[in-house]
Amino acid sequence: GPRVLLVEVFYGGSHKQLIDLLERNISGCSVITLPRQEMALEGENCRTAPQPDRPHVSILSYRVLFSSSVLKTCVSWWHSRPDLARLKKVLYFHENQLVYPVRQDRNGTFSTATTSLVADIVVFNSTFNMESFLSSIPSFMKKIPDHRPRDVDLLIRPKCLVLYYLPGPLP
């Protein structure tokens, strides 16, 4: 069956619900998480990667790497780990990281866009979040003083899809 590595640095709330749902329903997957309270540090730090909450599992057995867009380390982590290069990379957005939460963090915004470029598949939890993310990229790129990447939104769009899921049981 499929061998999927799920990586979530914000293992709380709806992020936890999604990872738990995927873990229950995907045969042959493993999870790497950080507790919710560690997310603030990890989500902003591009030099570290999450540590497994389970015994180490060889990356060689995996075909897919699924990670949350909260993991701003994705690009540097993926590039610093040659063993991850062959994996299909799926990036999941719970919200549009370019407009929510409201921040003045240009580096984080740029890393969100570049992570989307590196990913093989970019998944959103709603059409609204997907469209608002893609439509906000050109205006953000205009703020870059030089060596502006062009058509980033057009390069990302074909890789996008929307995945709706129920965060919990129906009442």
* Per-residue pLDDT tens digits for 84-120: 778 899 999 877 666 665 555 555 567 788 888 889 9
**Confidence bin at 123 (pLDDT 50/70/90):** very high
The confidence score (pLDDT) of residue 110 equals 72
Cα 118 to the chain's mean position, in Å?
11
pLDDT digits (tens, 9 = 90+) for 23-51: 998 888 888 887 654 444 334 433 344 44
**SS3 sequence of 59-122:** HHHCCEEEEECCCCCHHHHHHHCHHHCCCEEEEEECCCCCCCCCCCCHHHHHHHHHHHHHCCEE
Residue 146 amino acid letter: D
pLDDT in tens, 132-155: 999 988 988 888 888 878 899 999
Would you state the pLDDT for residue 105? Answer: 52
Query: What is the strand order of the sheet 29-35 is part of?
Result: 29-35, 4-11, 64-68, 88-93, 121-124, 160-162
d(CA 118, CA 125): 19
CA distances from 154 to 2, 25, 78 (A): 30, 32, 22
Cβ neighbors of 8 (< 8 A, separation 6 or more) are: 15, 16, 19, 31, 32, 33, 34, 50, 67, 68, 70, 71
CA distance 42 to 128: 27
Return d(Cα 134, Cα 17) in angstroms, integer: 25
* Cα-trace Rg, the chain: 16
